[in-house]
Amino acid sequence: MTMAIVTHASCRLHDMGDDHPEQPARLGAIQDALLASGLDFTVRHVDAPAVTREQLLRVHDPEYLDLIAAVSPTTGLAPLDDDTLMNPHSLEAARHAAGAVIKAVDLVMNDDIDTVFCNVRPPGHHAERHHAGGFCIYNNVAAGAAYALDAYGLERIAIIDFDVHHGNGTQDIFEGDPRVLFCSSFQHPYYPFSGDEATADNVINIPLPAGTGGEDFRRAVEERWLGPLDAFRPQLVMLSAGFDGHAADPMAQFRLREPDFAWITDQARELALRHADGRVISVLEGGYDLPALGRSVAAHLDSLLGFK
């Protein structure tokens, strides 16, 4: 398997304050872990372009895009909601975070690369078609999926979201679209307090209680996701890769460990090998305990590469 890591320097300049958990140091923790593991030397490094307005309009309303541009400050911090703030670099960072996933689609669809990890922030899966939220400005994974559907004519994309929070934004954008099978596992009840009710046929949510550990998480995935994902036969597998379900993470109360993230990654990689010529795009979402985040991403990429 060949892998690229796509990122951009601006993603480290988006800063919502010293006390905010979604901090620039997250990307540094991941980079340090990849250097320590040797993974950094086995992958191709790619600079993320900025997403275009046309590409964002596939998943966000024009009024929302205009609002983000208008709110973007020249100094200080400007709020989009109580948890999502913009500093003078945030707009550029958000554009490159979404642009990274567009670039990842080009890489895997042109047979240059098998798998891509988008090491970007701000995250994206809580951004709805016309609302920011949960630290997210643009919905990065949704922008990439919509681009793949439009630019490459794909008919079936699976988005697997294993962040500890429900991917409400991605569901909002693709709910009812039979070309996308959206699977989200998350702690419930917990932010954003959604996803527990049955919706469209193309959405498979797994709400799990606080305290869920690896054994229960794996059992739920096996029972609820693996059969429908295989039957769907995705031509591209995309991951909203959140590592805030780790037992050490302060943002929730799951009890997952690095082997659990490796296991769910194995399931996604094997699905892609069966149906999508091995094409997997992983996009960073949550993960706020820095040492646990670094270790978890290293385990995730080991599995994407097929290392054991």
pLDDT reading at 308 higher than 70: no
Q: What's the predicted TM-score (pTM) here?
A: 0.98
Residue 250, pLDDT score: 97
**Residues 62-80: pLDDT tens digits?**
999 999 999 999 999 999 9
Kindly state the DSSP code that residue 246 receives in the 8-state scheme: B
Band of pLDDT at residue 307, cut at 50, 70 and 90: confident
CATH number for the domain harbouring residue 74: 3.40.800.20
45 noted as active-site residue = no
Residue 1, pLDDT score: 82
- β-pairing verdict for 78-79 and 85-86: antiparallel
**Residues 92-116: pLDDT tens digits?**
999 999 999 999 999 999 988 999 9
Main-chain dihedrals φ then ψ at residue 50, nearest 5 degrees = -85, 140
Band of pLDDT at residue 221, cut at 50, 70 and 90: very high
Domain count for the chain, please give it. 1
Residue 174, pLDDT score: 98
**Residues 5-27: pLDDT tens digits?**
999 999 999 999 999 999 999 99
Q: Which residues contact 72 (CB under 8 A, 6 or more apart)?
A: 78, 86, 88, 90, 91
Q: Active site residue: 14, 60, 126, 131, which one? A: 126
**Residues 159-180: pLDDT tens digits?**
999 999 999 999 999 999 999 9
**Residues 129-142: pLDDT tens digits?**
999 999 999 999 99
pLDDT more than 70, % of the chain: 100
Residue 112, pLDDT score: 82
Distances (CA, A) of 192 to 54, 83, 126, 169, 302: 28, 12, 8, 10, 30
Instruction: Please list, residue by residue across 239-276, b when 16 or more beta carbons sit within 10 angstroms of its beta carbon and e when fewer do.
Output: bbbbbbbbebbebbebbbbbebbbbbbebbbbbbbebb
pLDDT reading at 31 higher than 90: yes
Give residue 175's domain range.
Answer: 5-304
